[in-house]
A and B are shown apart, each in its own frame.
Chain A
Amino acid sequence: MLYRTAGQFKTSYRADQALFPIRQDAFLLGLILVCAWVVFPLTASEFTFQTILTPILIYSLAALGLNILTGFAGQLSLGTGAFMGVGAYACYKMITLMPWMNPIIAILLSGVFSAGVGVLFGIPSLRIKGFYLAIATLAAQFFLVWLFEKWAWLYNYNASGAIQVPNLDMFGFYVSGPQASSMTQYYVVLTIVSLLTYLAINLTRGNLGRTWKATRDMDIAAELIGINLMKSKLTAFAVSSYIVGVAGALFVFMWRGAAEPNLFDIPLSFRVLFIAIIGGLGSIMGNYLGAILIVGLPVVLNTVPGWLGIHVESALLEHLNIMIVGSLIIFFLIIEPHGLNQLWRLIREKLIIWPFPH
């Protein structure tokens, strides 16, 4: 009865199109927001901030960006890591060239650069499809990482070739660099992630979202009913890369503190792809669920033996970890190929009709 929808009537299309036509959903969201904004920050330890809360948010955002491209617009991308890199390096250059710049503005602007690069590498999608398109994104992936390595201007000619996040302050608080506190950074990340999620929800449920989904489901038919495929695909690349770029900037500025080109190599891309797919392609919430699983799981796995008081060699633990993550990926794909989001939806459907079986 918790999820009873009886009695909730819609009297206008506008109400029917509201974000949460079902009251319980709105309530649930409120609860989550309260947790994210108030409860977690009050209770979390430094360790939790650094290894769970902040990375989950950042990875969710990256996955959200990828999901727009792959889940909504149907264009497979394996180059997310590199686009995150573009965002991070753009932010680094802006901050070092214009130290007066507000860091949050810089982070939001850095997405513009990755959007540009994304569109550039998205152009082949007009001709190339499916797995073949993956090659275009992989070309971006490998070329960009190579460029981060070779173009010394990008990292201000540092000897090590790595970038180091400076201490930046805003209204008297350090928001990035070694002086910044994890909680401040968490709030910055949370704000940006919430904002972009809200915008992404609107985009995906509106006209543009439908255009993307149509392109994904059947591009020929989409074109024949009047969709400009070029525009549809390129906007998807742009919006997606923008979000991914911002996620990249957050990744380095609000969390990692330093970055070497390698960081943005293919394992990062795969990790984000995992999150998007395990969470559910074509969903927004899935990205959060996926990130919780993929980011949180190894942390938990590492802690479990400690709780149980079993001593496992850390290398063995790591091997087991990889095996478990691999198996879980397969496991989740098998039980619900459409991801955790779909799983949640089924549960919700069951709750709505509960206690009746059909």
Chain B
Amino acid sequence: EGIFAPNLTYRTGPFAATGIPLMDGQKDYMTMLNERDGGIGGVPIMFEECETGYSTEKGVECYERTKANAVVTQPWSTGITLQVLPKTNTDMIPILAPGYGFSPMANGKVFQWAFNPPASYWDAASMIVQDIAAGDLGSLNGKKIALLHLDHPFGKEPIPVLEAMAAEYGFELVLIPVGLKEMQNQSAQWLQIRKERPDNVVMWGWGAMNAGAITEAVKTKYPMDQFIGVWWSGHDADLKQVGEAGKGYKSISWSMPQPDAPLLADLKTHVYDKGMSEAEDTNAVFYQRGLVISMILAEAIAKAQEIHGTGEINAAQLRDGLENLDISEARLEELGMSGMVPPFSTSCDNHTGHSGAWMLEWDGEKFVQASDLLMADAAFIAPLEAEKSAEYAEANAPWPVNESCN
């Protein structure tokens, strides 16, 4: 027996390019725990993948297939997240969607079963804008920021927050959608960028869209240092496409590769050397982010075991673990993961943790840190979260709310 923690992967389909390193990281971390410690709290983790190809339909099938025994569901796409979100209320299985999904899920009172630590898309938007403003939000007045986004729920996530900020700080927001079929051929979008002449371009891209956008930016000679992506747009392979020419491109990230972290040494002895990993570049941003994601899950499991005093926890118990995460500096040190993710903690009403993030910059060969830890403007985002989550609950009435949260 063991703890069944499935992962709804997409190593196939149009987004496979970005999916594979993430999934590899996740899997390797769990393999390592099993190999090194015999699991968590002595209970082995059954970390199984169910392939969705980023298709919502397959995702639902995977969810249904795994939910009987699973302690968690990791839907790995905004579409699947939205679809399983209502079901989890009745099925009582926590969703773990680190850094993706629906930003208002931060509101644990309404979304009792959904978690998106360590930071949400709205956090990302807020931090990117701060970085653009270089600490002086007033300087944004009169500026023009273009949002180049996938025309898809994922790409639209930051819009409400960006719009609110545009209104607040007086910059102009230009929305430039990229259709799923145009990902590889974005000349129209970049012509439009040339026409609009925005001061900055913010990219909410995914999969093949990133490579397309970056090559096009190089082609049209858009200044790279004014081009910033969300954390899913900071994939090494996408930038390798243009290499040197991409120098200066930035991507916000709540994870940072630490090639020298002790964790990697453990991984080497317990996983790589045993030939149990398929990972190609273990220092890549996405691979290491995958490690962090599994760490969050593992920590939650450990916490749940601690709270309930049992090894073989169930889904409802894991939820308590997820609500009481405390990834402190010290804990990261213990895990051998210092600097791989900013410290954060979750609670009953805060399912995100709002860890903050760093800006990474492409130096022509790899991503390097380019800023101190940035923090999202919680005061700005919180009311929006409350509003949107209330709307959601109302639209889906009767929607059970966790009254025990304050």
Contact = CB atoms under 8 A, between A and B. Distances in A.
A177 interface: yes
Interface stretch (B36-44, B78-86, B295-303): B78-86
Contact of B156 (A51, A160, A263): A160
A156 B86 CA distance: 18
A50 B64 contact: yes
A315 B83 contact: no
Which among B82, B85, B151, B177 has the highest number of chain A CB atoms within 10 Å? Answer: B82
Contact of B395 (A47, A164, A302): A164
B197 interface: no
A2 to B, nearest CB: 37
Interface string A291-328: 00000001100100000000001110111001000000
Given A178-B89, A299-B61, A317-B51, A160 B180 contact: no
B396 A256 contact: no
A258 interface: yes
A166 B397 contact: yes
Given A162-B153, A257-B87, A314-B9, A265 B180 contact: yes
Interface residues of B, number: 43
Contacts of A257: 83, 86-87
Nearest to B179: A146
A170 to B, nearest CB: 15
Contact of B396 (A156, A166, A302): A166
Given A47-B64, A178-B86, A257-B87, A319 B392 contact: no
Contacts of A258: 82-83, 85-86
B51 A162 contact: no
B396 A260 contact: no
Given A262-B152, A314-B50, A162 B82 contact: yes
Interface in A172-190: 177-179
B65 A178 contact: no
Interface in A69-89: none
Contacts of B56: 256, 260, 263
Given A167-B396, A317-B51, A47 B68 contact: yes
A179 B398 contact: yes
Nearest to A306: B65
A164 B61 contact: no
Contacts of B55: 267
Interface in A228-270: 256-258, 260, 262-263, 265, 267
B51 A260 contact: no
A161 interface: yes
Nearest to B278: A313
A46 interface: yes
Most chain B CB atoms below 10 A, which of A46, A50, A317: A50
A260 B152 contact: yes
A259 to B, nearest CB: 8
A218 interface: no
A229 B9 CA distance: 50
A347 B152 CA distance: 47
A256 B64 CA distance: 12
**A-B interface, 7 closest residue pairs, ranked by CB to CB distance from nearest:** A178-B86, A315-B11, A318-B51, A314-B49, A314-B51, A160-B153, A50-B64
6 contacts: A159-B156, A160-B156, A166-B396, A178-B89, A258-B85, A260-B152
Given A159-B157, A166-B395, A258-B83, 16 more contacts: A51-B64, A149-B151, A149-B177, A161-B152, A164-B82, A167-B397, A179-B90, A179-B398, A256-B83, A257-B83, A258-B86, A263-B79, A302-B61, A314-B49, A318-B12, A319-B12
